[in-house]
Amino acid sequence: MSTIRTAETSSRLRCIVCGATPGSAGQDFRCTTCGDLLEFFFPGWTSNQDPPAFDPAALKSLWLNRRTSLDALDQSGVWRFRELLPHIPNPEEHVITLGEGNTPLYRLPRCARATGVKNLRAKHQGMNPTASFKDTGMTVAASSAHQGGFRWVACASTGNTSASMAAYAARGNMRSLVLIPDGKISWGKLSQSLDYGALTCQLRTDFDGCVRILNELVRQKPVYLLNSVNPYRIEGQKTAAIELMEQLAWEPPDHIIVPGGNLGNSSAIGKALLEMRELKLISRLPKLSIIQAHGANPFYRSVREFGGKKLEPMTADTLATAIRIGNPASWKKALRVLQATGGEVEEVTEVEIAAAKAEIGADGIGCEPASAVTLAGLKKLRRSGFVKPGEAVVLILTGHTLKDPDFTVKFHRGDLFTGTSGEIEGAPAKYLQRAPVVLDADLGAVIAALDAAERNSKC
Amino acid sequence: MSTIRTAETSSRLRCIVCGATPGSAGQDFRCTTCGDLLEFFFPGWTSNQDPPAFDPAALKSLWLNRRTSLDALDQSGVWRFRELLPHIPNPEEHVITLGEGNTPLYRLPRCARATGVKNLRAKHQGMNPTASFKDTGMTVAASSAHQGGFRWVACASTGNTSASMAAYAARGNMRSLVLIPDGKISWGKLSQSLDYGALTCQLRTDFDGCVRILNELVRQKPVYLLNSVNPYRIEGQKTAAIELMEQLAWEPPDHIIVPGGNLGNSSAIGKALLEMRELKLISRLPKLSIIQAHGANPFYRSVREFGGKKLEPMTADTLATAIRIGNPASWKKALRVLQATGGEVEEVTEVEIAAAKAEIGADGIGCEPASAVTLAGLKKLRRSGFVKPGEAVVLILTGHTLKDPDFTVKFHRGDLFTGTSGEIEGAPAKYLQRAPVVLDADLGAVIAALDAAERNSKC
């Protein structure tokens, strides 16, 4: 294994716009020259370097063998791939892990038939410890906070980010602060942060006001920022793509389809694909396509209307709350990987999202609404001819169905889109209208209900 | 690996009371002689057999190496241990898996300090695909249904069982039927069954009435019963204990503590421990203790008041809904493993459960209320001296915190036990009262809140 180097000395920060390479990041993780986002890069990883940075076969073998280890780092589906992550000194002491990653890759037989894409799978990042993909990035960023000696970490979020942050902070014996706007609290979404012991402050302002206060706070007090501008989070999220390739025996699919909200996840998966090709871990690039909800589509409009030259923030409105973002922080990073992989951008309606979620559910896989934009988007990409029937497609599901049980219940009771839930274009009626039937306590009545369901499922 | 035999020819069914050994089970999985429960046994597994059924070292090595396989059976944390399960013929065709098992074993540092048990860990079965331990049994029982050619599977449940059943049925291209009493629907608990496409019938009767109709149904129609009397479910649930021992390098802890509801899980874990000792996979038995909620304590009363000679059913009442069971189906199986391992039975109050859940949460681990009885029970077992400070203890957490977000929110808002939530005996106040604070959008106000929280956490 002497050919395995660590990235210890080689990861550097670089501004994605002006190219400045600061020796360390400020508390707000913004470029001090131009104010844009920073990212990690690895100067030794160019494909023409001789000798190459890594022996790809040795690296794959090392990662695989770590699966048999009882060591906490090796058991993590993130830290198992630590050669491709920024180095955390003294990892035994500083790495905070909940055993994240190690998420399943599922075939979707019914969705495959419905879309005409025979080779269709889903990588379910909702199977992470706090039930969303955020954990893969949070383990790296929280460990960085721990290594930096921080007592407090913070973010502005009411959803998956705050849940994940609160869990990792608690694990690492740090305190966590969640800033949210006063007034519109979704208690269900906050339940995890409360459970893991975060301090939650409702500020008398809007979401942008919370972000502004948060940025002031981290500049004045020793509080570590865990919002998505934190480049450590992107690095951790890369591992979903690495693990996916391992699950596919390093044979890349033709397409990977990702929900687009704040666009950090798209950026991370695309970054991993580009790095893996550079390191000769894979021989070709999948096309990475990004799907947004129509009511929260600033990136879609940026690409389609402005050729990616600018992004106009908007007031976002979609029931897929995890991607209800009008001003995505990582849009420039996402644009770059979209272009580098030759992917496409699409938008889908609320009704298309709900139907797609029910279809994924019928394959026995539960996901939150934001995850279902991937299947809804695939249908459009099939119709446009961008995805061909013989191609291999992987959908990235980002959250567990239990993240939003209300959506599921309302949809199947017909309360989500009054008047439409039984007649959604492209969704077979048998996937819908799953509301309970009320019957007398009589065997004959139950048998009649079974027979009726049997007839419906054959329609 | 020639010493590895399969259990193919050796698993048999046996009545746990009269000892009858039917060649196959009826549709209701009851003994045709005396009506009690059946269990699997493996005639070749006696410890004095020569040659032994398995070479323990070879078996451990085989199981470990399967972790590096891409095969779906090997990737499952249940089927990886298939040598100790009833054989499913043609597993490639019939095994239905969601990649269940493979659940993390966490240290609980804060809980360890609070209980004085230094070596304290939690095996989190809530990290299964549908977020409860039910998946480990369901994969085996649903596969058995598939192998039997069934089109329909069914259970009476509004909670974790129906969620798990619906997912595995969908995965296996079968239909699932959920029977529940009319009137008292917890929609959140039903959301997963709806998502995975179950047919839900609300019957105008009580829960016992649903069970009665269900038993009539499976006798008259080709519908496969997936209630907990199904002995395949117990077999699958054994793997939690096998996986736990592997994670502990086959060094058993002194105590394993399990929530007691229907008592199938306790029975399964105990059965696995006894079988592993018989097969020389472990050299000694942990004590398996079972904790019930005071409001649903028929097993506790059976052992304490009647020496296990009878169990008086009761009307169960506890907020820990997953163990709100007044007439546990598997109590005789559980009694046997309790006695065989020398474990203890305890009961805990609602307030003790809520405080324990908040304390586990403060360690960054989210669980549903029923899981938290284990920590609450450990505190009592420490006070009684049954568990000693130097002993190694593993708590079995059975469900994810997202199974019951309402409980968490109500507790931290102080709405769960009016007047008591701030003053729970044995629970440090810092773990409680995590309700959000409302502040002006002002940096100074946020810093003051941080400082106050810092002071509180040092109390």
Cα angle A419, A421, A424 (rounded to 5 degrees) comes to 110
B75 against A181, higher pLDDT: B75
- Residue B110 is given by DSSP the state H
* Nearest by Cα to A294 from A237, A230, A375, A351: A351
Give the three-class secondary structure for B51. coil
Quick check: B437 and A190 CB within 8 A? no
Quick check: A200 and B439 CB within 8 A? no
Percent of chain B past pLDDT 90, that is, above it, reads 83
Model confidence pLDDT, tens digit, residues B375-425: 999 999 999 999 999 999 999 999 999 999 999 999 998 888 865 544 555
Q: Which of B125, B195, B431 to mutate to test the interface with A (most CBs of A within 10 A)?
A: B195
Q: Which residues of A touch B151 (CB under 8 A)?
A: 454
Q: Which of B71, B202, B442, B446 to mutate to test the interface with A (most CBs of A within 10 A)?
A: B446
pLDDT, mean of residues B354-371: 96
* Lookup result for tokens 């944390």: B77
Model confidence pLDDT, tens digit, residues A424-454: 555 555 555 688 889 999 999 999 999 999 8
Model confidence pLDDT, tens digit, residues A328-375: 999 999 999 999 999 999 999 999 999 999 999 999 999 999 999 999
Which 3-state string (H, E, C) describes chain A?
CCCCCCCCCCCEEEECCCCCCCCCCCCCCECCCCCCEEEEECHHHCCCCCCCCCCHHHHHHHHHHHHHCCCHHHHCCCHHHHHHCCCCCCHHHHCCCCCCCCCCEEECHHHHHHHCCCEEEEEEHHHCCCCECHHHHHHHHHHHHHHCCCCEEEEECCCHHHHHHHHHHHHCCCEEEEEEECCCCCHHHHHHHHHCCCEEEEECCCHHHHHHHHHHHHHHCCEEECCCCCHHHHHHHCHHHHHHHHHCCCCCCCEEEEECCCCHHHHHHHHHHHHHHHCCCCCCCCEEEEEEEHHHCHHHHHHHHHCCCCCCCCCCCCCCHHHCCCCCCCHHHHHHHHHHHCCCEEEECHHHHHHHHHHHHHCCCCECHHHHHHHHHHHHHHHCCCCCCCCEEEEEECEEHHHCHHHHHHHHCCCCCCCCCCCCCCCCHHHCCCCCEEECCCHHHHHHHHHHHHHHHHC
pLDDT, mean of residues A186-204: 91
Burial letters B35-47, b for 16+ CB under 10 A, else e = ebbbbbbbeebee
Give the three-class secondary structure for B422. coil
Contacting residues for B382 by C-beta, under 8 A, at least 6 apart = B115, B116, B117, B389
B346 against B187, higher pLDDT: B346
Is A138 exposed, middle or buried, given 0-12, 13-18 or 19+ CB atoms closer than 10 A?
buried
Q: Which of A39-48, A152-161, A334-343, B231-240 has the lowest mean pLDDT?
A: A39-48
* Nearest by Cα to A157 from A111, A218, A202: A202
Return the amino acid letter for B209.
Answer: G
Residue of chain B with shortest Cα separation from A437: B201
Is the alpha carbon torsion for B64, B65, B67, B72 positive or negative? negative
Q: Which residues of B touch A68 (CB under 8 A)?
A: 64-65, 67-68
Task: Grade residue A50 by pLDDT with cuts at 50, 70 and 90.
Answer: confident
Question: How many whole angstroms separate alpha carbon B427 and alpha carbon B410?
Answer: 17
Q: Other CB atoms closer than 10 Å to residue A315's CB: what's the count?
A: 9
Quick check: B402 and A191 CB within 8 A? yes
Residue A3: pLDDT over 50: no
**Do the Cβ atoms of A373 and A347 come closer than 8 Å?**
no
Residue A318: pLDDT over 70: yes
Task: Grade residue B428 by pLDDT with cuts at 50, 70 and 90.
Answer: low
Return the amino acid letter for A264.
Answer: G
Model confidence pLDDT, tens digit, residues B320-352: 999 999 999 999 999 999 999 999 999 999 999
Peptide bond into B436 cis (omega under 30): no
Please give the pLDDT value at position B417.
Answer: 81
Is the alpha carbon torsion for A241, A244, A250, A251 positive or negative? negative
B43 against B84, higher pLDDT: B84
Model confidence pLDDT, tens digit, residues A96-126: 999 999 999 999 999 999 999 999 999 999 9
Percent of chain A past pLDDT 70, that is, above it, reads 94
Task: Grade residue B457 by pLDDT with cuts at 50, 70 and 90.
Answer: confident
Residue A1: pLDDT over 80: no
Question: How many whole angstroms separate alpha carbon B36 and alpha carbon B229?
Answer: 9
Please give the pLDDT value at position A459.
Answer: 52
Please give the pLDDT value at position B298.
Answer: 98
Strand partners, B290: B258, B345
Please give the pLDDT value at position B3.
Answer: 44
Shortest Cα distance from A3 to chain B (angstroms)?
A: 21
N-to-C CA span, chain B: 58
Please give the pLDDT value at position B414.
Answer: 84
Task: Grade residue B180 by pLDDT with cuts at 50, 70 and 90.
Answer: very high
Please give the pLDDT value at position B52.
Answer: 84
Q: Provide the number of CB pairs (under 8 Å) joining chain A to chain B.
A: 264
Contacting residues for B456 by C-beta, under 8 A, at least 6 apart = B429, B430
Question: How many whole angstroms separate alpha carbon A417 and alpha carbon A353?
Answer: 12
pTM, two decimal places = 0.95
φ and ψ at A223, to 5 degrees?
-120, 130
A26 against B115, higher pLDDT: B115
pLDDT, mean of residues B158-163: 91
Quick check: A67 and B67 CB within 8 A? yes
Question: How many whole angstroms separate alpha carbon A289 and alpha carbon A335?
Answer: 10
- Residue B306 is given by DSSP the state H
Q: Which residues of B touch A205 (CB under 8 A)?
A: 441
Task: Grade residue A208 by pLDDT with cuts at 50, 70 and 90.
Answer: confident
Task: Grade residue B184 by pLDDT with cuts at 50, 70 and 90.
Answer: low
Residue B187: pLDDT over 90: no
Please give the pLDDT value at position A428.
Answer: 54
Please give the pLDDT value at position A59.
Answer: 97
Shortest Cα distance from B51 to chain A (angstroms)?
A: 29
Burial letters B140-155, b for 16+ CB under 10 A, else e = bbbbbbbbeebbbbbb
Pairing of strands B152-156, B223-225: parallel
Residue of chain A with shortest Cα separation from B66: A68
Q: Which residues of B touch A172 (CB under 8 A)?
A: 364
Please give the pLDDT value at position A433.
Answer: 65
Q: What is the mean pLDDT of chain A?
A: 92
Contacting residues for A124 by C-beta, under 8 A, at least 6 apart = A103, A104, A105, A106, A365, A367, A397
Task: Grade residue B308 by pLDDT with cuts at 50, 70 and 90.
Answer: very high
pLDDT, mean of residues A171-189: 87
Q: Which residues of A touch B62 (CB under 8 A)?
A: none
Model confidence pLDDT, tens digit, residues A252-266: 999 999 999 999 999
Residue B1: pLDDT over 90: no
Task: Grade residue A186 by pLDDT with cuts at 50, 70 and 90.
Answer: confident
